[in-house]
Structures are given as C-alpha cells and as structure tokens.
Amino acid sequence: MENSRRRFLKTAGVSILGVGAGSMLIGLAPGSTKAAGPGTKAGPSYTHGPEAMKGGRWGMVIDTRKLKDSTCRKMEKACHSIHNVPDHIGKFDKKNHEIKWIWATEFKHAFPGQEVEFLSEKLEHAPVPVLCNHCDNPPCVRACPTKATFKRESDGIVLMDFHRCIGCRFCMAACPYGARSFNFRDPRPAIENENPDFPTRMKGVVEKCNFCAERLAVGKMPACVEVSGGALIFGDLNDPESDVRKLLADEYAIRRKPNLGTFPSVFYIV
Amino acid sequence: MLEKALKGSKTYWIWLLALAVVIAIGFLFYLRQLDFGLGITGMSRDVSWGFYIAQFTFLVGVAASAVMLVLPYYLHDYKTFGKITVIGEFLAVSSVLMCMLFIIVDLGQPMRLLNVIFYPTPNSMLFWDMIVLNGYLFLNIVIGWNVLDAERNGTAPEKWIKPLIYLSIPWAVSIHTVTAFLYCGLPGRGFWLTAVLAPRFLASAFAAGPAFLILLTFIIRKFTKFDAGKQAVQTLAKIVCYAVIANLFFFLCEVFVAIYSQIPEHMAHLQYLFFGMHGHDALVPWMWSSMALMVVAVILLIIPSARRNETTLIFACIFVFIGTWIDKGLGMISGGFVPNPLHEVNEYIPSIQEIIITLGVYATGLLVLTILYKVVTGIKEELAG
C-alpha cells in the first residue's frame, strides 16, 4: 500500500514533468501534593512533602562506557512501563505512531556532526541512550503557544501539561533532539500493564521524558537511573557537592548539539 | 449584496453542488480523524507536520498576494488595477479561511484551540500567526465589502476605509513573514534555519498568487461579462515573472550556501529532496518538476510575444502555480524534517484520507471564493448594464 502510493507519487511527479501541465504537573504525585487551602492570596501553591528530593537544576550524567545493550533495554522498559508509554509497534506494527521517552541509539545518531572516524566496530555500534535533555534554554518551551510545555522554575525540569496541550506539534519541530512524541491515536489499547499511579494520555497530545518528576517528589531516583547499574548518575547541577557535579569536575563530558545554545542538562561521558 | 449569489445559471449551481459534495466527503473523513486521531495521516514522530501545514504555508502566500493589486492602485494610483483590487482581496479572504481550516484540521486537540487565547504566549510564533491571520481576514473582508458596496452605490468608500487599506499593505507582508518565522527560528532544523526563508516565501507568494489571479480573471471572463482588461493581466504577468525569478534566485542562494559550505546539516535536506537519501526518494521527481516548471514559466513570461499570447500565458501561469505549490506545498515542510534531528531518514507520504480531507478544505475555500466572486461579478454586470 505504502509502496504503491510512493510509486504513484513518483509517477505522478514524472508525468507532470512529461505532460508539462501537469495540570498534569506530574511533578507532584498525589501523595506529596498539598494544594493550598481556600483563602490563600497567591492562588494555589504546592509544598513538597518531607520525602521529596530537592534540586535547583536536575541533571544527569550518562557514562556510556559502563552501558551494555541489555542495560539500555532495561532502562527503556522500566521507563516506558512506569509511565504508561504505549507500544504501538509491538501491538499494531505502526512505526509512524511510535512513542518513546528514552531509547538507545548509536553515537553517530546521538551526536550527528560529531562522528568519529576510524572508530572500532564495537565502539561505533555501542549503545548511547537518548532522552529529553531538559535544556536550560529549551526551544520547545519557546515555541509552545499555550505554555502547555514549560520549564519548572523550582528544579529546571521541562514538563508537559497534557490537559492544556492543543496538539499543534510546534514543540516537536522546535526540539533539536527528536525527544518528543505525539499521540497519533488513543494510547490506552497499546499499554500492556497500566500503572495506576501514573496517568495515561489521550490521543492528540505531545509527551516526552519528565525526568521522573513524580518519583523525585517522593524521594525516588528516576527509573532509568535506578536500573542503570551505576551508568546513569542523577543530581543537582547547581550543587557543587552533588554526585553529578563531582563527576563533571573530574571527567570530560559532552552534551548533544551544544552549538545550538540550548544548554542540555544531560551529559555524556564517552 | 449577498443576494447576487442567490441567482445564477445552472452551471453555477452544479459547480456549487459539486464543491458541497467534496466538502461533505472531506468532512466525513475529518470526523474519522477526530475519532481515531491524526494517526490516519502519514505523519510520524519524525515528520510531525505534513500535508496540512504545507498547504497552510502555501495558501498564506496566495493570501498575501492581494497586496500586489492593492499596493499599485492605492499607493501609486495605478488605475488599471482599480477594477480588480476586490478580486484580489476576496481571494485573500478565501485563502486565509483555508489557512485557518488547515491549522484546525492539523491540531491533535482542536476543541482546545481557544487555549491559544486563554493562555496568550507572545514568545510563540504561533500566537503571532493567529493574530496576523485573523487581522488580515478581517481587513480584507471589511475593505473588499465596503469598496464594492460604494462602487455599487456610485459613491466614494467611507473615509475610515482608507487607513485600513494602507494598513493592509504591510499586514500582507507580515502574514507571510510570521509564517516563515514559524520555521526559520527553530534551532535544530538546518533546512529552514536561514534568514532568506521569509523573503523567499514572499517571492514565491507574489508569483503563485498573481498567477492564480490571472487564471481566475480568465475564468471569470469566460463565465460572466466582467473582463479585468488586457492591461491589468499583462501587468500581473510581469509581476509573476519577476517574482518567480526572485524565488528562483533566493533558492539558488540557499543552494550555494548549503553546497559550497559543505555543512552536512544544511546540505542533507537538499540532498534528500533532489537526489534522495538512503534509498528514500519519493520527492525527487516532484522537486525537479517544480524547478523545471518554474524555469519554463520564466522563459514564457519574459519573452514579450509569449507573454502577450493568451494561450502561452495561461500555460505559464499554470506552471508557476504548480511549480510553487510543489516547492512549498510538498517539499518545504516534509523536506525540513528529513533527515530527522538524529540524522535518520524516515520519509513522509501523505495518506489517502489526509489528501481527501485536504481536498475538502480546498473545496470550502473555492466555495467561499465562488460566492464572493459571484457577488462581485453580479455587481459589475449590474453597473455595466
């Protein structure tokens, strides 16, 4: 079907020439949310529960040297099952409808324009996990016409309000990392085991990695970090004493497309 | 004045009926899209804008082209265009209407459309696009209608119309500039990240729009007693000619920058569009056709005898329209998404359903255009008779 349409497009193109005329502010999980009571002047406000992790700017360091294919698959699986990410490929074999928050690719795809020549076969195909970079200067937030995607001031996480998103997909065009996915159809039939603690989405809205804001709020590390066997390190980039900052001080780490001025909060040691 | 649209020949009613049928079919498929989601289109997470947004982009240009009639008449007192400015303004009305419909059919959650107004976000170019498009629609309806009404009554248009007319001139430029800014301000998209995008959009707009206007004047002359006049058509043809040349020139500037600098991010998209990439080459014949059509059109339009010959002029205008449509309505948007930010090639082919919905929107625009033109020609005939 797709092939015949492609052929049709092609022939039609040729014949033209021939003829000439031719607020899911997930950050706050139910348990840790305390909406301000009536009478508050400044409108509703939230306070973190005592167990919540606090950071000025959450960041991640990915030590690709420690990563194996199996670890990456574990990370993908943990993230996608916790966040009710549908599997349209497995369920309906529809690649076009694919949704992913974190996935493994190769260095040349994670870092196009920074390809390394003469690399050994092994390193060339070594897995590099990619996800939303939670940029300090996010182009997606700039592009969104409804503030449905926004950078949370308290900790720098770029979040989505699935109830406000109009599905214009401007953020997807704006993201230079291809980190965002769109619900081209109802995701629910393609969710194997629904996690009742995290909302499912509806068709017509954009979604992406949320740095496990809902887990941070109850004092847990992001799911991918937890299963990474120490390859992923998570912490506060504003705190010089944090694990991530200590690691960044000692190791030379790179970021994806630094020339675009987005200031990603995800670093890679390669 | 609208009563003029209620009396017409059999052909008129059959044409309206045919359009209504296409609209109805398109609408049925749109209901299907509302139910299932945008998954019935050929779009994907890599090519997240497709046919709809491309048509929107192309039609913003057609809408902006009304200024090519308004500016010479009102700023330079070029009287030849006096008879047909309203034709341009009403083309703008129906084009902007189609633009808005294309935006709506492209939304994942169209019932939340008003969020753009409830949560105004000036840092988003889409917010400004909403303002300029609505403003342009308003300006052209008010101006066109009032000027036509005054003409019918044999009086001068109301005084307050003049400032609106002057305002509509830069406003026309603004709609296509802001539309270009939707794309050219995005950091990761090498194909669009060029300052020449807005000028190029305007150049192709001033080619496609007036070319379509010429064809429309011929159609109007065939079916009614209203004749735009040879001279008006010839002047429009010259405008088309130089606009196509400007469009080709801007395009070649871009090709030079991308190819000579050899920067992969900028080169890759042109390579995909014109030569194909990793075996994906659906758009290749289209893009070459587009270039060939525009070049042939320039030759036909620049040779005075060919331009004055009505048959060759009609062909030239058709070539321009199709050539610029392929350029903008087919290559411009999906070309910017392939390869994707991870430099993977996932091609986009519009689905049948998507194309039917698109035709439905076009039919809606043509229906509005027909009715508006019926009013115009009815009044012109009344005045002549």
State the amino acid at position B307 in one-letter form: R
Q: Mean per-residue pLDDT for A214-242?
A: 95
Q: Answer whether residue A208 is part of any domain.
A: yes
Distance CA A94, CA B354 (A): 17
CB contact under 8 A, A262 and B265: no
Question: Cα–Cα distance between B284 and B290 in angstroms, integer?
Answer: 10
Query: How does DSSP classify residue A59?
Result: E
Residue A15 banded pLDDT, cuts 50, 70, 90: low
Residue A41 lies in a domain: no
pLDDT of residue A84: 97
Distance from CA of B131 to the nearest CA of A (A): 12
Q: Where are the alpha helices (DSSP H) in chain A?
A: 2-19, 69-82, 88-92, 107-110, 121-124, 139-143, 170-174, 213-216, 223-226, 243-250
What does the angle CA A58 – CA A60 – CA A62 come to, to the nearest 5 degrees? Answer: 180
Look at residue A33 and tell me if it is in a domain: no
> Number of folded domains in chain A?
1
Q: Which of B124, B188, B283 sits opposite A260 (nearest CB)?
A: B188
More confident residue, A15 or B133: B133
Residue with tokens 């705190």: A239
Cβ separation A176–B349 shorter than 8 A: no
Q: Are the beta carbons of B108 and A166 separated by less than 8 Å?
A: yes
List chain A residues with CB under 8 Å of B183: 173
- Bridge partner list, A150: A159
Q: Inter-chain contact B38–A9, Cβ cutoff 8 Å?
A: no
Task: Report chain A's mean pLDDT, rounded to a whole number.
Answer: 86
Is residue A27 predicted with pLDDT exceeding 70? no
**Can you give the pLDDT of all 385 residues of chain B as single tens digits?**
888 888 889 999 999 999 999 999 999 999 999 999 999 999 999 999 999 999 999 999 999 998 999 999 999 999 999 889 999 999 999 999 999 999 999 999 999 999 999 999 999 999 999 999 999 999 999 999 999 999 999 998 899 999 999 999 999 999 999 999 999 999 989 999 999 999 999 999 999 999 999 999 999 999 998 999 999 999 999 999 999 999 999 999 999 999 999 998 899 999 999 999 999 999 999 999 999 999 999 999 999 999 999 999 999 999 999 999 999 999 999 899 999 999 999 999 999 999 999 999 999 999 999 999 999 999 998 888 7
CA angle B302, B305, B309 (to 5 degrees): 105
Closest residue to B48, CB basis, from A16, A95, A169:
A169
B 153-192: CB under 8 A from A: 182-183, 186-189
Least CB–CB distance from B119: residue in A13, A20, A146: A146
pLDDT for residue A13: 52
A108–B343: do the CB atoms touch at under 8 Å? yes
Minimal Cβ distance to A166: which of B107, B319, B351? B107
Write the residue in A17, A113, A183 that is nearest to B288 by C-beta.
A17
Residue A210 lies in a domain: yes
pLDDT of residue A7: 60
pLDDT value of residue A46: 61
CATH class of B2-384: mainly alpha
- The residue of chain B with its CA nearest to that of A114 is B264
pLDDT tens-digit readout, A2-13: 556 556 555 555
What pLDDT sits at residue A8?
A: 55
Please answer yes or no on whether B108 and A206 come within 8 Å at the CB atom.
yes
Inter-chain touch B285–A17, beta carbons under 8 Å: yes
* Interface contact flag, A17 B292, Cβ < 8 Å: yes
Residue A111 C-alpha, separation from nearest chain B C-alpha, in angstroms: 7
CATH number at residue A168: 3.30.70.20
Stretch 63-102 of chain B: residues touching chain A, C-beta under 8 Å: none
pLDDT at residue A33 tops 60: no
Q: Where does the pLDDT of residue A113 fall: very low under 50, low under 70, confident under 90, or very high at 90 and above?
A: confident
For B254, the token pair is 């871009």
Confirm if A159 and A199 have CB atoms less than 8 A apart: no
**Chain B nearest CA to A108, separation (Å):** 8
Radius of gyration of chain A (CA): 21
Using CA atoms, how far apart are residues B64 and B58, in angstroms rounded to an integer? Answer: 10
Q: Domain limits of chain B?
A: 2-384
Element of type H or E holding B173? helix B161-184
In angstroms, how far is CA A262 from the centroid of its own chain? 15
Whether A206 and B289 lie within 8 Å, measured CB to CB: no
In a domain, A7, yes or no: no
Quote the pLDDT of residue A41: 47
pLDDT above 60 (res A230):
yes
Instruction: Give the residue numbers spanning the domain of A241.
Output: 54-269
Q: Where residue A44 falls among pLDDT bands split at 50, 70, 90?
A: low
C-alpha span between A201 and A203 (Å, rounded): 7
The reply to whether A48 falls in a domain is no
- Please tell me which residue of chain B has the smallest CA distance to A105: B342
* E-only strand ranges, chain B: none
Q: How high is the pLDDT of residue A17?
A: 47
Q: What is the pLDDT of residue A24?
A: 40
